Amino acid sequence: MRAPFLTLALTLAPGIALAEAHGPKVSIDYGPRPAFLIDAMPDSDLKTKLQSCIGQTPAKSDFSIGHRGAPLLFPEHTVESNLAAARMGAGILECDVTFTQDRELVCRHAQNDLHTTTNILLTDLASTCVKPFTPASGDTPASAECRTSEITLEQFRTLTPKMDSADRRATTPEAYQGGIAPWRTDLYTAGATLMTHAESIQLFKALGAKFTPELKTPSVEMPFEGFTQEDYAQKLVDEYKAAGIPASDVWLQSFNLEDVLYWIRAEPDFGAQAVYLVDHYDLDGWNHMDPATWPKPLAEYKAAGVNYIAPPLWVLVTTENGRIVPSIWAKEAQAAGLNIITWTLERSGPLGGGGGWYFQSIKDATTHDGVYFELLDVLAQDVGVKGVFSDWPATTTFYANCMGL
């Protein structure tokens, strides 16, 4: 007899009815990673507290958000990736939303990522790519660009998902499919299933999870064949309404502030929890410790009706006497009364070398893998974040359960 979660995965294949709304009961399991990270920590009160929770009965937590599912090991935005996240106790799951040529919403991290997240370059649909595969030559890396907006939903369904990667040294499309980061794997790619946004809603509902879709910035110029940006933002909401999902279970996201303000204005029930994903860190001279470099005071977002704001991890912290502490940006967001969500834990691999982009503001204190928990503790206890996106939600679920969040 098939396990319930496998039956659900099979029902999401093209041409087969979606799972019943009551769906399977997911058994939550942390696996070995949380204990591995705790073992890496130096002795401290936090380590002692976390050690005391090893062996606890795991439970689902809304503090734990599956970032594209569980893409540390599973192909992102697939049925299997989200099943893995749910089985690690992620209470909220994400579908990054973009659209096809026939304006159907699908789960992809970007409209132009098919060349790194699917096998499109090895199929007849390679002819639809706006930039065909070009092999590496000398100092020029291999490249390609393939968009969902260039293919129909029916064509999208024929693609095979894979781990998000590309070998920039490749001289053939087959070799270009590689390049997986050494801390990831392709062990769990076989049989992975792509999803439309509507299918993700049914899957997450069946898994007992809540929803945080991100409206991705189009690669095409809008309006697209009469499809405006507001049409796009509204279609996202309409698919939740059609599925009977209460607005209180949905956290819409966008890096485009105009999308968030549109939802606040046109769909106030959904807009109340809409999340503005800030990207001010890309501005020349921007400094998370210097309000004079910010586009506007954070209180102005709150005054405009924005209740949730989400920067990357490093924006919320700094170091003081070798300790991780809240940044000025975090303190100002708190003072403005903004709810804070952050991204993305477990996206950096081993931390012994400083942790890379997500840990850049605390690189001097990032010397061992246990910093994953040390950072998480500051974010939860001192910054007061409402949730943390993770590529491996077991870590955030374990922490939330241990601390009673």
Whether pLDDT at 6 is above 70: no
Q: Show the tokens assigned to 14.
A: 């093209």
Q: Does 344 sit behind a cis peptide bond, omega within 30 degrees of 0 on the bond before it?
A: yes
Beta bridge partners of 324: 319
* pLDDT tens digits for range 35-87: 999 999 999 999 999 999 999 999 999 999 999 999 999 999 999 999 999 99
How many alpha carbons lie under 13 Å from residue 110 in its C-beta half-sphere? 12
Task: Report the pLDDT averaged over residues 251-279.
Answer: 98
pTM, 2 dp: 0.94
Task: Please give the mean pLDDT across all residues of the chain.
Answer: 94
Q: According to the model, what pLDDT value does residue 26 have?
A: 86
What letters, b where the CB count within 10 A reaches 16 and e where it falls short, cover 303-316?
A: eeebbbbbbbbbbb
* pLDDT tens digits for range 83-104: 999 999 999 999 999 999 999 9
* pLDDT tens digits for range 345-362: 999 999 998 999 999 999
Q: According to the model, what pLDDT value does residue 374 have?
A: 98
- Taking every pair of C-alpha atoms in the chain, what is the biggest distance, in angstroms? 62
Q: According to the model, what pLDDT value does residue 7 have?
A: 44
Task: Report the pLDDT averaged over residues 161-186.
Answer: 97
Report which residue type is found at 192: A
Q: According to the model, what pLDDT value does residue 24 have?
A: 55
**CA–CA separation, 128 vs 156, rounded Å?**
12
* pLDDT tens digits for range 124-170: 999 999 999 999 999 999 999 999 999 999 999 999 999 999 999 99
Instruction: Compute how many other C-beta atoms are within 10 angstroms of the C-beta atom of residue 4.
Output: 15
Q: According to the model, what pLDDT value does residue 13 have?
A: 44
* pLDDT tens digits for range 295-314: 999 999 999 999 999 999 99
Q: Residue 289 in contact with residue 258, Cβ under 8 Å?
A: no
The number of residues in the chain equals 405
* pLDDT tens digits for range 371-399: 999 999 999 999 999 999 999 999 999 99
Alpha carbon of residue 147 to chain centroid: 19
* pLDDT tens digits for range 10-45: 444 433 333 343 345 789 999 999 999 999 999 999
Q: Which domains does the chain have, with CATH numbers?
A: 4-95+195-403 (3.20.20.190), 112-176 (no CATH)
**CA–CA separation, 91 vs 74, rounded Å?**
18
Instruction: Compute how many other C-beta atoms are within 10 angstroms of the C-beta atom of residue 145.
Output: 16
Whether pLDDT at 3 is above 60: no
